[in-house]
Structure 1
Amino acid sequence: MKKNFYLRSALSVILLMHSVVSIFSGDVNDFGRHYLDTIGFSPFGIYLAWAVKLIHLFSVFLIWSDRYVKIVSFLNMPILFLGIYLVHWQNGWYVVGGGANGIEFNVLLICCFLQLIFTESHSEKIEKRSS
């Protein structure tokens, strides 16, 4: 069984829902045009928004297949840090309860990706044995 099965499953579901729902609802376009473009990323806001969602979407399949997990983690963490800086920081720590739309969820996701980076994968063990 893969290491960090539950962690990988949870990250996969979160990334899948965060990407697919916003793609099909059109929110990714709105975020690019109405938010990113207005804070200085114009005319690239929509492209950045799509890049983020596609990275999330492809990350799901790579995490499930136990391939390039460290690269996936390194790609997603800057997205989450930028989300903290650009969107969530002004709202404080709490996502719900003591506030709304805060940074706590992004911090947890960053820690989950760090766990994947510092946990040796099954494929890495096989490569070490064969060397």
Structure 2
Amino acid sequence: MTILPDTRNYGMLLLRICTALILTVHGVTGMLEDGLSGFGSYLESQGFGLLGLPLAWIIKLSHVVAAASILTRKWVMWPVLLTIIILVAGIFMVHLPNGWFVVGGGFNGIEFNLLLISALAAILYDR
């Protein structure tokens, strides 16, 4: 018998907190800094027409909802799956033409999205 705390889940706790923080900051910053009009215009130019701005709002809000579900460990599956789908779409619509690197060896590449998708998949698997 040991008096030490069970540390087996500390790694997943850290992953949950960091992933939720990233999703929250990304979502809220996009909503507060008027990034939605530019994002909405981009989506309109990609064939979403008048749905561009509402879709931009849905995407940013979905990040915040996913973060809350990850932290509370409630209703995790659908918000996380939606976020994974959004990140995969982002890879194909934005990041893939820019290569691998986000910074350094390139700009705006796929590496960060792949890392977030992996983290979200691990969280989904752990629920």
TM-score by length of 1: 0.85
Q: Report SS of the residue matched to 1:42.
A: helix
Q: % of aligned pairs identical?
A: 38
Counterpart of 2:56 in structure 1 is 49
5+ residue gaps, structure 1, are 122-131
Amino acid at match of 2:64: L
Q: Please say if 1:93 is aligned against 2:100.
A: yes
Greater Cα shift, 85-94 or 66-75: 66-75
Take 1:113 and 1:60, find their aligned partners in 2: how far apart are those partners? 10
Q: State the distance in 2 between where 1:60 and 1:19 align.
A: 10
Structure 2 unaligned blocks of 5 or more = 1-5
TM-score normalised by length of structure 2: 0.88
Counterpart among 47, 66, 71 of residue 73 in structure 2: 66
Q: Distance in 1 between matches of 2:124 and 2:102?
A: 25
Aligned to 1:28: 36
Pairwise CA distance, 1:15: 0.5
User: After TM superposition, which residue ranges in structure 1, 4 or more long, deviate above 3 angstroms?
Assistant: none
Pick one of 13, 21, 29 that aligns with 1:5: 13
- Aligned-pair CA distance for 1:72: 2.2
Code of the aligned partner of 2:15: L
Amino acid aligned to 1:78: I
| Residue number in structure 1 paired with 2:82 | 75
Equivalent residue of 1:94, what SS? coil
User: How far did residue 75 of structure 1 move?
Assistant: 1.1
> Match of 1:100, SS?
coil
Find the partner of 1:107 among 111, 114, 126. 114
2:30 maps to amino acid: S
